[in-house]
Amino acid sequence: MDIGSLRRSFVLELASAGIDRPLHEADLLLCEILRRDRGFLLAHLDETFPPSDLDRAREGLLRRLGREPMAYILGRASFGDLDLRVGPGCLVPRPETEILVETSLSLWSEGPFLDWGTGSGVIALSLLHSRPEAEGFAVEAEPSALRWAWANLKEYGLLSRCVLLHEARLDALSLKEGSLGLVVSNPPYIPTEDLKDLMDDVRLYEPSRALDGGSGGLDPYRGLLPWAARALRPGGFLVVEHGGEAQRKALLEMASPSLENVAQIDDLAGRPRVLAWKRLS
Ligand SMILES: C[S@@+](CC[C@H](N)C(=O)[O-])C[C@H]1O[C@@H](n2cnc3c(N)ncnc32)[C@H](O)[C@@H]1O
């Protein structure tokens, strides 16, 4: 079968299963199997698809039809100009989190950072990649996620500048009070009551520990905000991702008086997404 016919059949199957952007997904899969970019794919539609790769291509398609996230099937996800390894156990990095990283980079200038709930390591990695002198900590409760973070930091040669900590309790972290320049987090913030409404791709495959933020989605912040107020040095920043207006309002009320709110940022869909505070002296 030629590449073009296989591509058309994949697009049709993905579309009839109700998968968004079927052409994009078919191309991602075929490019990965062929180990070529999209330019090559489009220029070689008349060529025979290598018969030895057909089974792998069909297996990938079947996994996607079963709603497994494409990033897990490919074993990779892009984030800005970074390419990360991902798989079961870690959240697939979302484009919204680029706002969290950009906000952090625009505010933070000195002192070590701490990325709480690092998952694939995407935030810590982005900070270290952008700031060649920076050092920090990445904390994660889930051992399988920590392995992805380790693999990604290793691949980018950043392990020497980042201490990975396997810990679920903030009060168990033995960090000196007033020592951090930045605390950044994309914590689990989906309200428990909304988990059932998530798309199957997310609900069935991504770890609930990465999603479930308890009642109202606010549980993780109840510990994080007061802890950060103590761990940050005066002039340091706390930057968090969250979801929506109700959470923004609740978080602004929750923050201690020693934290001054310095940024409230919406995502491209106009939904409140990132908050930042400065630790007062
Ligand atoms: C929304 S995901 C974010 C992952 C990654 N930082 C990102 O932005 O893609 C939240 C992460 O927090 C981790 N997590 C949940 N509870 C935690 C806890 N008590 N301590 C440390 N990490 C926790 C989850 O395992 C998950 O990896």
Prediction ipTM score = 0.99
Residue nearest to atom 14 of ligand 1 (CA): 117
Atom of ligand 1 nearest to the CA of 185: 6
- Per the CB < 8 A criterion, the answer to whether 237 and 262 are in contact is yes
Residue nearest to atom 18 of ligand 1 (CA): 168
Q: How far is the CA of 178 from the centre of ligand 1 (A)?
A: 23
Q: How far is the CA of 210 from the centre of ligand 1 (A)?
A: 5
- Per the CB < 8 A criterion, the answer to whether 116 and 224 are in contact is yes
pLDDT of residue 218: 98
Length of the chain as a residue count: 281
Q: 205 labelled as ligand-binding?
A: no
Is ligand 1 within 6 A of the CB of residue 152? no
pLDDT of residue 189: 98
Residue 241: is it exposed, middle or buried by C-beta count within 10 angstroms (0-12/13-18/19+)?
Answer: buried
Q: 140 labelled as ligand-binding?
A: yes
Among 102, 209, 239, 267, say which to mutate for ligand 1: greatest number of ligand atoms within 8 Å of CB. 209
pLDDT of residue 281: 84
Report pLDDT digits (tens) over 28-81: 999 999 999 999 999 999 999 999 999 999 999 999 999 999 999 999 999 999
The kind and range of the H/E element at 183 are strand 180-185
CA distance 254 to 226: 9
What does pLDDT average to over the chain? 96
Is ligand 1 within 6 A of the CB of residue 117? yes
**Single-letter residue type at 207:** P
Maximum CA pair distance of the chain?
68
- 216 Rama sector, left if φ>0, alpha if ψ -120 to 50, beta otherwise: left
Q: 226 labelled as ligand-binding?
A: no
Q: Which of 76, 162, 154, 80 is nearest to 118 (CA)?
A: 162
pLDDT of residue 128: 98
Is ligand 1 within 6 A of the CB of residue 87? no
Is ligand 1 within 6 A of the CB of residue 127? no
Q: Which of 270, 231, 238, 229 is nearest to 100 (CA)?
A: 238
Q: 119 labelled as ligand-binding?
A: yes
Q: Over its length of 281 residues, how does the chain's per-residue pLDDT go in tens digits?
A: 999 999 999 999 999 999 999 999 999 999 999 999 999 999 999 999 999 999 999 999 999 999 999 999 999 999 999 999 999 999 999 999 999 999 999 999 999 999 999 999 999 999 999 999 999 999 999 999 999 999 999 999 999 999 999 998 998 988 899 999 999 999 999 999 999 999 999 999 999 999 999 999 999 999 999 999 999 999 999 999 999 999 999 999 999 999 999 999 999 999 999 999 999 98
